[in-house]
Each structure stands twice: as C-alpha cells, then as structure tokens.
Amino acid sequence: MSAKNNNPKGIILILIAMFIISIQDAIMKYIYSDVSLYEIYLIRTLIGFLIIILFLKITNRPIIITTHYPFLTSCRVILFFFGFSSFYISLTIMPLATATALFFVSPFLITIFAKFFLKEQIGSRRWLAVIIGFIGVYIILDPNYDNFDYLSLTPVFCALCYALSMIIIKITSVKDNVYSQILQFYIGAAIFSLIFYFLIGDGQYNTIDHPAYQFIFRKWFSNLNITLPYLIAIGFIAAISFILIFTSYRIASPAVISPFEYSIMIWATSYGFIFFNETPDLKTIIGMVLIVCGGIYIFIREKAQDQLVVTEKPLR
C-alpha cells in the first residue's frame, strides 16, 4: 500500500484529530467566563508555534516562514484569525453542537467560491447539495426576524472566512508548503493578539454585561492561576491536531477521509450533553442531518468528477 493511498491510517488519524479538536472547543466553552479571547489566542499560538517548529526539526523538514504571495497570505491570516475568533465567541451564546454544525456550512461556501473565483464547473447535483445544506442552516437558526440575535451567525461568519481562506490556499499552495502556511498564521495571530493586548488588555472596555462582550474585553491574565493549565492544553491540542490532520491528508485520499471530519459532530454533541447539559432539540437535529448529508454528497460528487476543491483541504 503506497503512502498516498494509506486510507485506513488516514481515517484513524482524522478521527483522532476530530476527537481532540472537540476537546479544545469544549475547553474553550468551559473557561470563557474566566479568560479573554485574545489571551487564549496568544498563548495557544505561542505553544503551537514551538510545537510545529519542534516537529519540523525532528522530521528534518525545512523551516520556511517566507511566502511567495505576501498579499494573499496576509488576507488568509486575517480571515483565519477573525473567522475562528467569531467561532470561539459563538461558544458563549449557543450550544457546542449547534456552533459546530453551523461551521460545517463551509463546504457549501467553498463550492460557491470555487465556481466564481476558481472557475470550477459545479454541476446541478452539487448545487442541490448546497441548497440542502443552507436549508439545514435555516432550520437550526430558526430566525425570528423581530428579535433575531445576530451573534448566532458567528459560526456562519467563521465558515465564510474559512471558505475564502481555503480558496486562497488553493492558490498559495502552488509555491508555499503547508507547514510554511501554518507558521505564517501563527506569526500573524501572535501579532494581532499582541495588538489587542495593548488596545484592550487592561479590561477598560469590559463595561457590558454580556458573555460574548466580556469574553472579548475581559482583562488579560486576571485568572491565570486557574486558566493557565487549560490554555497550555489548548495550545498543545491545536498543534497536535494540525499535525494529525495534515498527515492524514498527505498519506490518504482526501476524498475518502474528508467525510470523517463530520465525526466531530458526535463528540461536540456528547461533550455538550455531558459537561454543559446541552441537548439538541428536534429542529437542530434535523438541520445537522441536512448539513452533514449535503456536505458528504459534495465530497462524493467531487471524487466522482475528479474536482477536489472542497475535499483536498481539511475543514478544521
């Protein structure tokens, strides 16, 4: 069995990665009332950067931080940073499983952007899958337009930013390798986090009694004696899961392993129920099923058409 077709090992790695990423999200939800969002980002980034550097050293891979696409790389870093900021913010106002399900609108957005930015040919069946996926999103959100909480769109905004960044990676991956791109993100995220520290780190803008607002503007390092072990764990999880995900995509067929990323839905639902007493209602379950079915069908059609736009890069 060739390294690129080691599908069983790739599936195992992606399942492990989804398992530990869901732990990271659960930790985020557990500690958000005691820590600042960008404080998490800074410590997570620094630890992750060191682990990736160590991994590259151990595996004798070159450490390259420069890019052949400075403008596109800057755009990608900004999209990643603020996209996943919005996802973590969503954990303060909605169940873990709901936020995770809404993020998985990203395959549908990637498909749409691939049509308009990469000029990929998208057939009617994939368009139908996209429509089904967005129906699932609508069912989950169940919008009441007279009193709609727009923060419930934060996972969808994350998916939008992520989809655009994946389109950029489709271009930059021609000359920049995957490890260079993650190091570039870590450096950019550290810079943005430090900027936020000097702007809002003293907590002076933490004046509104709302969990999302407080998560953003809370004073940094005010509860470090409680939160530091969790922050270190998040940093390790982020780096290890990245290595597992991209190793699985390197050694196995992307079209085969991509659907297994949806296993995170099982863990998100389980952790939400066990640790936060969150039970998805019927509408949320129906919406999740539609999103998952639509996404998996896109993976199947991409493999059949040999157009790996969504499936060639991980969704987390």
In single-letter form, the type of residue at position 38 comes to: Y
The contacts of residue 266 (CB under 8 Å, 6+ apart) are none
What is the value of pTM for the model shown?
0.89
Predicted pLDDT at 8: 85
DSSP type of residue 170: H
Q: What is the mean pLDDT of residues 128-143?
A: 90
SS3 per-residue string spanning 39-100: HHHHHHHHHHHHHHHHHHHHCCCCCCCCCCCHHHHHHHHHHHHHHHHHHHHHCCCCCHHHHH
Residues 190, 203: Cα–Cα separation, whole Å: 19
pLDDT (tens digit per residue) in 61-117: 999 999 999 999 999 999 999 999 999 999 999 999 999 999 999 888 888 888 787
Residues 103, 100: Cα–Cα separation, whole Å: 5
Judge whether 309 and 122 are in contact, CB under 8 Å: no
pLDDT (tens digit per residue) in 175-185: 988 889 899 99
CB atoms < 10 A from the CB of 235, how many? 22
pLDDT greater than 80 at residue 276: yes
Burial 176-188 (b: 16+ CB within 10 A, else e): beebbbbbbbbeb
pLDDT (tens digit per residue) in 21-74: 999 999 999 999 999 999 999 999 999 999 999 999 999 999 999 999 999 999
Percent of the chain's residues with pLDDT above 90: 63
User: Where is average pLDDT lowest: 122-131, 139-148, 179-188, 237-246?
Assistant: 139-148
Rounded to the nearest integer, the mean pLDDT of the chain is 88
pLDDT greater than 90 at residue 149: no
Residue whose token pair is 């992750």: 48
DSSP, collapsed to helix, strand or coil, labels residue 316 as coil
Predicted pLDDT at 307: 56
pLDDT greater than 90 at residue 155: yes
Residues 148, 297: Cα–Cα separation, whole Å: 31
Q: How far is CA 306 from the centre of its chain?
A: 25
User: Where is average pLDDT lowest: 22-26, 164-168, 263-267?
Assistant: 164-168
Q: 277 — alpha (psi -120 to 50), left (phi > 0) or beta?
A: left
Judge whether 259 and 303 are in contact, CB under 8 Å: no
